[in-house]
Each structure stands twice: as structure tokens, then as C-alpha cells.
Amino acid sequence: MRSHSLFILFLVTVFCLVNVEIADGFGMMEIEKTAKECCTVSRRQCCIEVMKFGRPAKCGYENNAEWAEIFYNCIQRGLLAEDQRMSLDDGLCCQVFAHDTSDSSKHCENTCKIAMHSPSLNKTERFEKIKKCSMLENPLDKCFHNCLKMRQNGFSVQVLDFSEYCNYTSTP
């Protein structure tokens, strides 16, 4: 009887693990398939690690802006639903965190850049990482989302002044 219970426990555990993989949206099969479609043979292992661990899209593609965007978009198409994808250039909105005078180490800005340049993270995961960059609520998170909305409406945020999308004033 005990071995029967252990076997059932084993099956439930395996079932839960499979469901976690499905709930997250992709598993190793999708990662390997996407790596074959998006990455050269010499860079494939790096690409797999980018997807598997939610790392920024590097692997040498970042040295050419056009290749970086193709690589980033290809990985997103392979792994994420269309409504969960983001533009590589959305990472420009991370500049809002550079205005945080209480974050001299630029932790939130760096966290934002890492999340926004990680093509295997969906929108929710990215936004959660960015929001939790500080133990305290960061008012600049709202500015970040304002910046993203402006980008979606066709504004080139590179030419906007910080005050045009953020009315936050930092206190030292």
C-alpha cells in the first residue's frame, strides 16, 4: 500500500512539474526549436541560456543594432504570445530611473535594462522585476509606464525632456 501511495505522489509531482512548464508558456522543446530558428550554430548554446535563464539578448548579436533587433524579435516570436512581446527599443524608457537621486548605484536603472533586453521574459515578468527593483515603492515606475505609452503612441522618447512624461521630483 505504501509503495502505491509513493507512486501516486510521484505521478502528481511529475504532473505538477509539467503543468508549471506549460503555465510559464514554454519549455525546453520550445527553447531548442527557437534556438535553431533564431541563432547560428556557433551561438546556439548562448542563445539557449538567454532563453532558459531570462538573460539579456547578447551572444554577439548586440554588436550590430539590426542583428540585435532581429535576434530579439525572433526569440519573442518563438516563445511569447504576441500581446506579451515588447520592442527592444522600449528599453530606452529605462532612462527614467537615471533620475533617481536616492539610487546612486543605479540598481533600478540596471534592473530595468536587464529586464527590457531579455527577450524570453513576457511583459508581466519584466514589469514585476522593474517594479520590485526597490524594497520601497518607486514613483519612477509610473514614469517608466508613461514613457512606454508615449512610445506606443509614436513619440520618440529620445528627444523628449524627462519632465514631458514624468512630473516626479526626487528628493535626496
Rounded Cα gap, residues 47 and 35, in angstroms: 6
Angle between helices 123-131 and 107-116 (to 10 degrees): 170
**Percent over 70 (pLDDT), the chain:** 83
Q: What is the mean pLDDT of the chain?
A: 84
Which is nearest to 134 in space by CA: 100, 167, 158? 100
The pLDDT of residue 26 is: 83
Superfamily holding 88-164? Caenorhabditis elegans Her-1, C-terminal domain (1.10.150.370)
Return the minimum-mean-pLDDT range out of 72-86, 119-133, 142-156: 142-156
Rounded Cα gap, residues 94 and 83, in angstroms: 21
User: Which grid cell is 83?
Assistant: 500581446
Instruction: Write down the architecture of domain 26-79 according to CATH.
Output: Orthogonal Bundle (1.10)
Q: Is the pLDDT assigned to residue 29 strictly greater than 70?
A: yes
Structure confidence at residue 164 as a pLDDT band (50, 70, 90):
confident
Q: Is the pLDDT assigned to residue 162 strictly greater than 60?
A: yes
End-to-end Cα spacing for the chain: 66
The pLDDT of residue 156 is: 82
The pLDDT of residue 5 is: 44
Which residues of the chain are in CATH 1.10.150.360 domains?
26-79
Which residues of the chain are in CATH 1.10.150.370 domains?
88-164
